[in-house]
Amino acid sequence: MALDKIKEDLVGKWKMDRSENFDEFLKAVGVNMLLRKMASLAKPTMTISVEGEIITVAMDIAVRKEQDSFKLDEPFETQREGEKLKMSPTWEDGKLKLTATPIDPNSKLNPPTIYRERVGEEILMTMDVGDVRCKRYFKKLE
């Protein structure tokens, strides 16, 4: 059921259209000022696909590419900002949710929770860390 909804709502190639509170989000995560400035200039492309039970989310950001492949409800490891993270993917209330936890107990990175959902003709990616919320809107590329 969840995979069918993900295929229907989220699969495709998407380009970021606009963003709210991104710099504050990056600051709250612990990203340094230089990387924050570079990241704020980027207009990433996001590609979401489903093969069998495997969901792949790829982000093509001007300075780097990130890709994660996972099954719902099965934690996996990834790396962001030089830190290893355990990500827990779930489907909740019509949203693909990824909850991050640093693997290193001494990590200085504040772990985000990321939601992706279909809102009208767009994907809304909401990223929370502490009490800071960032919203990024993506339009489908044909």
Burial of 113 (C-beta count, 10 Å sphere; 0-12/13-18/19+): middle
pTM to 2 decimal places = 0.91
Domain segments of the chain as ranges: 2-140
Distance of CA 34 to the CA centre of its chain: 21
pLDDT at 32 over 90: no
One of 3.40.1830.10, 3.40.50.970, 2.40.128.20, 3.90.1150.10 is the CATH number of 2-140, namely 2.40.128.20
pLDDT at 51 over 80: yes
Tell me the mean pLDDT in the region 38-61.
Answer: 93
